[in-house]
A and B are shown apart, each in its own frame.
Chain A
């Protein structure tokens, strides 16, 4: 029974993909509703079957198909509390984003393709979280990477979009390489990729010491490389800002709520390994540095979606801090709240774009509060959540992470995290004040078209704003004894997280609230009446506005040399010279032979007769003298 239901949960988006993919041409306007229905089915199963079944420590483990029995490589499901959280986020937020997309993409001619890809993405993501072994996770991993590429480059006639898609896929690939190496190491060490088996062996320390005592360290670090690629941490974050070329709902779903969180999920799932290898500290440091780094770049960005993209990178850093210091529950908690408020903010940005005829530059906006009320209020709720305004969802999750960082002995990380929280509040409210308050700098032509979004678009906004407001309080109240913790403590490895004592949380709450509000006030002070400048004023500003020139550095150090080698070595020498040369040589030889033999055809009959006579002589000679 449970196996069937989980299978339906998994297959439903796949069927949606097939229907839209094969029959999209005739389905056009219905395609969005079909896709949304597919995800809704998955959500209903998650919410009303999986959630109750897993509560209180239950686990659903089913094997769908035994692929390589000796090595326990199956297509099987491992559903525990962690999986359930992910399922609810993916299907719930995913469903709302599907509904929103129906409105957002209503003018697009290829929307059947869009919804097909979107469903395929959900399917791949579900494989990722439902799998009971690393191989299935990797299959889902690759699948979401593919769909990300397809959806970023959805408007394929735009070169910037296709370039961004390729960049995303290639940078992801680098991470995937690390993931693969990690998987190989684990397989060599444990002889299986199945989670239960592997974690059991790991805990009893009975595994092949492939790299000696540091086997687990190497393996976990390699796995983390994969997470760095997928979840856009330093140094592989560069694809995420460019990924904003895709449709805004795509950015909301894939690059805020789900795909980029796959890395966090992977680290959380491998919690036992990270605990044993004590490599969580590496994870935490990279996370916090990324958080700070991205937040600084968001300060100087003028494109609404760019700001949100850097914000996502930054918040992902927070999540990694959470799972890195051992506070797995907090990291997952922040993952969930982030899905709500970041997804919400992306969708409102889409609403703004929809109203502003696809304009994204906030210097050309202003005073939109009166024109787009629903958009404004929902966005404000999201921004307050991310800034850590007291009692909203982001406050609970972010505060827990920082608290656990301090308790785990990582005071410096705590400090950097706090600084980043200030910057987060600052840049987010900078965006609000510039876009929605103040005088309107909107083009008069665009201004005449300004209108609020249709209901199919603003209803999901409201539905996402509600959890952003309250879910933090509901499941997060009580710190260590919150509902969230109780729910997730049954997951293996979550309990033992190297944090010895838990100090009083109240001071931390106060400090983070102060920091958040300070950021909001600072932004209000500076930007309430002033628009961002068109050109950077001082060198620091210029550095930030140009994203620290990282893209240019990568280009010069990696891209151009590889291109040069490809062009000169592989193309000119090998391909053109050797392979083409061989083919041409063959043709040349044959043509030469043909040219010589052609001369036998003189057209002079007597020449032919001579050859006949010679033939007769040879024949007669043979039969006379040799036989």
Chain B
């Protein structure tokens, strides 16, 4: 329920501010609208349970990238530019093409996914009281190994939340196991989980990304360096 409300609010906000980005004449206004878009996207991330990503979104995108944008806009003194609105054939054609693309993409969004997910989180209804299935056990083991969790940790922390009497995973029923798995998955958006998986399974891309940043750094410096015309001649 909360998720739906969040989705509707932030969704409308995101779309609205996106339209403002492309509609405003003044570049500074566009930039600010984009910041708003990023914030609403952060809200959407939170409603999706990706807390760490939402935080990074705010810090990196809204906090660093947009600041850089505004820097450059003001450096080039573009704030004064108030270009007049011109509606010509090319623009109309572009908008039509964009609408076509939207229609197709939306169609994909609706039709492409027929709801058969791998995740047993939205599993079929099972008989209440049926024992935990092997798939569920496999899933739990998988989560354990990915996030470096102890079974005892799960037993002590999460099992009681799902069912007060039980204390081990194996004694859970199928529906309870479903809840357990959903809870575990819901946790994976938290920073510690992200950290675990980032530095174990995705360590190599992490390191490579640092090289990418280094390259960008060097590139920017080289590009923006002014040539010393006085000393060159």
Contact = CB atoms under 8 A, between A and B. Distances in A.
Interface in B90-118: 90, 93-94, 97-98, 100-101, 104-105, 107-108, 111
Given A620-B108, A624-B107, A624-B108, A610 B93 contact: yes
Interface string A37-77: 00000000000000000000000000000000000000000
A613 B108 contact: no
Contacts of A624: 104, 107-108, 111
Contacts of B100: 617
B94 A606 contact: yes
Interface string A583-627: 000000000000000000000001100100110110011001000
Q: How many residues of A sit at the interface, in one of the four size bands?
A: 10 to 19
B104 A621 contact: yes
A624 B109 CA distance: 12
B93 to A, nearest CB: 7
A416 B97 CA distance: 103
Contacts of A616: 101
Interface residues of B, number: 12
B104 A613 contact: no
Contacts, number: 24
B232 to A, nearest CB: 31
Contacts of A607: 90
Contacts of B104: 617, 620-621, 624
Contact of A614 (B90, B97, B105, B108): B97
Given A616-B101, A617-B101, A610 B108 contact: no
B198 to A, nearest CB: 32
Contacts of B97: 610, 613-614, 617
A607 B90 CA distance: 8
B107 to A, nearest CB: 7
A616 B104 CA distance: 10
A617 B100 CA distance: 7
Interface string B1-20: 00000000000000000000
Closest 8 pairs between A and B when the two form their complex, measured CB to CB? A620-B104, A617-B100, A613-B97, A617-B101, A610-B94, A613-B101, A610-B97, A617-B104
15 contacts: A606-B90, A606-B94, A610-B90, A610-B93, A610-B94, A610-B97, A613-B101, A616-B101, A617-B97, A617-B104, A620-B104, A620-B105, A621-B104, A624-B104, A624-B107
Interface of B: 90, 93-94, 97-98, 100-101, 104-105, 107-108, 111
Given A606-B90, A620-B105, 17 more contacts: A606-B94, A607-B90, A610-B93, A610-B97, A613-B98, A613-B101, A616-B101, A617-B97, A617-B100, A617-B101, A617-B104, A620-B104, A620-B108, A621-B104, A624-B104, A624-B108, A624-B111
